[in-house]
Amino acid sequence: MHSPPSFFRIDKELTEGAEHYVVHGVRPRFTILVDPNYNPEGPPGRGFIKKLRISNGWDNDYLRCRNLLSAAEKYFREEHQRRKQNQLSARFSPDDKSE
């Protein structure tokens, strides 16, 4: 049986912009709010965790917590880059219907 992905992304459109969430859907469950335009360590686009929501059931396993948060950040960066590339390729690809 196919297992669900560990992470998925939710984009919420607001009048003043958009919010980008990454959700870890299996135990331990958590959600991070990511700002893709802010990066204190370098160029924008890498993402920065603005908010973390997590249950108290992590049993003080801080190493696992750190590893999963790092994996969530990596997932966001890869997904964000993939979406940007898809938008650019759709914008600059020739229209097949115009022949």
- C-alpha–C-alpha distance, residues 53 and 34, integer Å: 12
pLDDT in tens, 7-29: 999 999 999 888 999 999 887 88
* Polymer length in residues for the chain: 99
Cβ–Cβ under 8 Å, residues 75 and 36: no
Coil vs helix vs strand at 10: strand
**Helices first, then strands: H and E counts in the chain:** 1, 4
Residue 97 — very low, low, confident or very high, per pLDDT cuts 50/70/90? low
pLDDT in tens, 73-87: 889 888 888 888 887
pLDDT in tens, 29-84: 899 999 888 777 777 666 788 899 987 766 677 788 888 888 998 898 888 888 88
- Please name the residue ranges forming H helices in the chain: 62-92
